[in-house]
């Protein structure tokens, strides 16, 4: 009988999606956090449209980054608490593949909604349509990086004191390249430049991260389960 | 005859090996620091552009080099620890981290003091400054992770993984910050863009050597403390402590190395 190596990852993906959709409040909290953080900036800085348009790429990207960060505990914490994670680690399928399935489910319920919500918030900052499209594209490319690198940090801090803040300290420095290229792409469009270079680098970073981060995260899960 | 490298992977034998090496490296650090400062502060001429303020280079550049290099050494030990599962590797990573963070901090601090007279600002978002700051964040992340894990073996492995993830990211961070910087702001003043006088370069290299010696000495001393702390329930540390107690002075720990370096 042939060994079905993708069976467990696919059922993990289905299960994670189902669990999140059955408790939509968690998902909505992340989205509202994103909206609220972004809305704070005009209140703190002032309502001048030119200024807001100038800071919009950075503000939207940093807010999306923080919202993704807050969603990270959802990846492993519940499964770690009820022992599911140990069973997954015992599965004959590679743990990195299972982690990858969890990352896909996580992105579908965090990164994708944030990306889809971004144009709406871009309106608040009076971003032109061209920059808004680039913003959506860059967030779609960049949010998987937040999940993938964040998975390593979330797995390393499983069951530790002050897990959430600790995860932030570990992964935020590693988010910087994605932030630079993502916000840079929108800024370039605003300045009338071509965003292609930024987006290509961001896409390369996404591919690189999605290739290696699942392994690192799987290793981190095994370390935490020992 | 082949050298038994793994003999010194045992904390007990490394403790004995490290002890006698510390005074030599510490002595070399003191001598080269004095020599380097003499070359830098007395022999080297005043810079025609920056005046005497450039002399902070003798602290700044060696500290920056050491801060970066220490992270690479940590990553090397981290990889060795994950591959060979040796306990000493994790202890070495732990021992190196504070020194690396210290040098990175010194590099930033002296850079700010140097930037004020030359650039007119304590801080500019120059690529090298920014990536050094991020390097400091990586050190802090490692130490924060270690501090919150009670089981030292798990802390070793988790810290090793984090260090390796960090070292893979360092070139990416460096180049992204560099490109970000060139896109954002105009050319900032680059120190040392002109070729350096030989005597200045000599002073800097001697100081860099001093930083190496200091790092080796202090991390060996620290790893010995870590070994004793972690192995406190083992028989050999018990014997060591008894020997120390009977000898009376703490300096006599050295004497017991004969028994421990089996």
Residue A27 confidence (pLDDT): 87
- Asked whether residue B82 is assigned to any structural domain, the reply reads yes
Q: Please, are residues A195 and A203 in contact by the beta-carbon 8 Å criterion?
A: no
Residues of chain A falling short of pLDDT 50? 1
Residues B150 and B242 both lie in one domain: no
Neighbours of A192 (CB within 10 A): 7
B257, pLDDT greater than 50: no
Q: Which residues of A touch B179 (CB under 8 A)?
A: 180
- Co-location of B120 and B40 in the same domain: yes
User: Are B44 and B145 part of one and the same domain?
Assistant: yes
Cα(A81)–Cα(A89) distance, integer angstroms: 14
Closest by Cβ to B173, choosing from A157, A161, A177: A177
Q: How confident is the model at residue B252 (pLDDT cuts 50, 70, 90)?
A: very low
Higher pLDDT among residues A141 and B1, named by residue: A141
Please indicate, yes or no, whether residues B124 and B236 belong to a single structural domain of this protein. no
**Phi, psi dihedrals of residue A127, rounded to the nearest 5°:** -75, 140
Q: What integer is the mean pLDDT of B59-63?
A: 89
| Mean pLDDT of all residues in B88-113 | 91
B176/A181 touch (CB, cutoff 8 Å), yes or no:
yes
* pLDDT for res B198: 79
Q: Which residue has the tokens 């963070």?
A: B101
Q: Does A205 touch chain B (CB under 8 A)?
A: yes
Check residue B51 and report its DSSP letter.
B
Q: Are residues B215 and B175 in the same domain?
A: yes
Work out the mean pLDDT of chain B and round it to a whole number: 81
Q: Alpha carbon of A179 to those of A76, B78, B177, B253: distances in Å?
A: 24, 28, 10, 52
Question: DSSP of A112-178, one letter per residue?
Answer: HHHHHHHHHHHHHTT--HHHHHHHHHHHHHHHHHHHHHHHHHHHHTTT-TTHHHHHHHHHHHHHHHH
Would B8 be classed as within a structural domain? no
- Tell me the average pLDDT across B38-46: 80
B45 in helix, strand or coil?
Answer: coil
Residues B242 and B142 in one domain: no
Residue B102 falls inside a structural domain: yes
Per-residue pLDDT at B255 exceeds 60:
no
Statement to judge: residues B88 and B211 lie in one domain: yes
Contacts of A166 in chain B (CB under 8 A): 144-145, 148
**Domain hosting residue B128, numbered range:** 15-231
Encoding tokens for residue A193? 């430049």
Write the DSSP symbol of residue B39.
I
Output the domain CATH number for residue B81: 1.20.120
What whole-number distance in Å separates Cα of residue A46 and Cα of residue A127? 16
Q: What is the pLDDT of residues B217-233, one digit of tens each?
A: 999 999 988 988 888 88
What's the rounded Cα separation, in Å, for the pair B98 and B121?
A: 28
The reply to whether A217 touches chain B by the CB within 8 Å rule is no
Residue B3 within any structural domain of the chain: no
- C-alpha distance across the termini of chain A, in Å: 32
Is residue B151 located within the same domain as residue B261?
A: no
The torsion region of residue B2 among left (phi > 0), alpha (psi -120 to 50) and beta comes to: beta
In angstroms, the Cα distances linking A134 to A172, A175, A207, B112, B137 are 23, 19, 19, 37, 30
Residue B79 falls within a domain, yes or no?
Answer: yes
pTM here is 0.86
Mean pLDDT, residues B35-60 taken together:
80
Q: Are B180 and A178 in contact (CB under 8 A)?
A: no
Answer whether residue B51 shows pLDDT above 80: no
Looking at the DSSP bridge assignments, the partners of residue B51 are B47
**B152 with B256, same domain?**
no
pLDDT confidence of residue B163: 93
Q: Which residues contact A68 (CB under 8 A, 6 or more apart)?
A: A110, A111, A114, A143, A146, A147, A150
* Nearest Cα residue to A55 out of A186, A196, A202: A186
Q: Does B1 reside within a domain?
A: no
Q: Note whether B180 contacts A169, CB cutoff 8 Å.
A: no
To which H or E segment does residue A37 belong? Answer: helix A24-45
B72 and B138 together in one domain: yes
Would you call B47 helix, strand, or coil by DSSP? strand
Scanning B111-150 for CB atoms below 8 A from A yields 134, 137-138, 140-141, 144-145, 148-149
Please count the residues of chain A.
Answer: 226
**pLDDT digits over B172-199, tens only?**
888 888 777 766 554 444 455 556 677 8
Within its chain, how far is the Cα of A60 from the centroid? 13
CB-based contact, B254 to chain A, within 8 Å: no
**pLDDT tops 80 at residue B25:** yes
Chain B contact for A203 (CB, 8 A cutoff):
no
- Concatenating the DSSP letter of every residue in B106-135 gives HHHHHHHHHHHHHHSSS----HHHHHHHHH
pLDDT (average), residues B60-87? 90
Q: From CA A190, how far away is CA A60, in angstroms rounded?
A: 14
| Three-class DSSP category at A48 | coil
For residue B187, tell me if it sits in a domain.
Answer: yes
Residue B203, pLDDT above cutoff 90: no
Q: Is A193 on the interface with B (CB under 8 A)?
A: no
State the total domains in chain B.
2
Question: pLDDT band for position B2 (50/70/90)?
Answer: low
Angle between helices B127-147 and A163-190 (to 10 degrees): 160
Question: Does residue B5 fall inside a structural domain?
Answer: no
Whether residues B128 and B94 fall in one domain: yes
The pLDDT assigned to A151 comes to 93
Please tell me whether residues B144 and B211 are part of one structural domain: yes
pLDDT on residue B195 = 60
| pLDDT attached to residue B121 | 79
Partnered with residue B47 across adjacent β-strands are B51
Q: Does A170 touch chain B (CB under 8 A)?
A: yes
């Amino acid at each position: 009988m042939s060994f079905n190596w993708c069976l467990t990852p696919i059922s993990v993906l289905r299960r994670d999606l189902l669990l999140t959709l059955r408790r939509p409040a968690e998902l909505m909290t992340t989205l509202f956090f994103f909206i609220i953080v972004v809305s704070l900036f005009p209140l703190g800085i002032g309502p001048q449209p030119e200024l807001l348009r100038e800071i919009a790429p950075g503000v939207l990207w940093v807010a999306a980054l923080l919202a993704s960060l807050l969603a990270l505990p959802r990846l492993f914490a519940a499964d770690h608490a009820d022992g599911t994670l140990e069973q997954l680690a015992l599965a004959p399928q590679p743990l990195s593949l299972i982690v990858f399935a969890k990352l896909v489910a996580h992105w579908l319920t965090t990164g994708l909604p944030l990306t889809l919500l971004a144009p709406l918030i871009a309106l608040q900052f009076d971003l032109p349509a061209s920059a808004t499209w680039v913003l959506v594209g860059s967030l779609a490319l960049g949010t998987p990086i937040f999940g993938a690198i964040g998975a390593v940090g979330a797995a390393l801090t499983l069951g530790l004191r002050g897990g959430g803040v600790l995860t932030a300290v570990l992964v935020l420095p590693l988010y910087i390249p994605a932030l630079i290229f993502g916000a840079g792409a929108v800024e370039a469009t605003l300045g009338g430049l071509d965003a292609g270079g930024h987006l290509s680098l961001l896409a390369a970073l996404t591919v690189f991260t999605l290739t290696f981060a699942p392994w690192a995260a799987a290793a981190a899960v095994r370390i935490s389960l020992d | 005859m082949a050298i038994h490298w793994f003999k010194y992977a045992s904390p007990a034998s490394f403790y004995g090996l490290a002890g006698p090496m510390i005074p030599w490296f510490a002595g070399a650090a003191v001598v080269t620091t004095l020599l380097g400062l003499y070359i830098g502060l007395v022999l080297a001429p005043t810079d025609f552009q920056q005046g005497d303020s450039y002399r902070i280079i003798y602290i700044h550049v060696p500290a920056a080099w050491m801060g970066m290099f220490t992270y690479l050494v940590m990553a090397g030990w981290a990889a060795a620890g994950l591959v060979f599962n040796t306990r000493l590797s994790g202890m070495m990573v732990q021992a190196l981290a504070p020194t690396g963070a210290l040098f990175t901090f010194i590099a930033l601090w002296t850079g700010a003091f140097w930037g004020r007279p030359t650039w007119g600002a304590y801080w500019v978002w120059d690529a090298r400054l920014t990536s050094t700051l991020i390097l400091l964040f990586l050190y802090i992340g490692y130490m924060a992770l270690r501090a919150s894990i009670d089981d030292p073996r798990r802390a070793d492995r988790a810290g090793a993984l984090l260090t390796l993830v960090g070292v893979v990211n360092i070139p990416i961070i460096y180049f992204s910050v560099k490109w970000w910087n060139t896109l954002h702001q105009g050319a900032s003043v680059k120190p040392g863009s002109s070729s350096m006088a030989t005597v200045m370069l000599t002073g800097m290299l001697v100081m860099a050597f001093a930083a190496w010696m200091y790092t080796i000495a202090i991390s060996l001393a620290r790893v010995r403390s870590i070994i004793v702390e972690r192995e406190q329930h083992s028989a050999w540390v018990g014997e060591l402590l008894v020997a120390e107690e009977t000898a009376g002075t703490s300096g006599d720990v050295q004497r017991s190395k004969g028994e421990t370096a089996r």
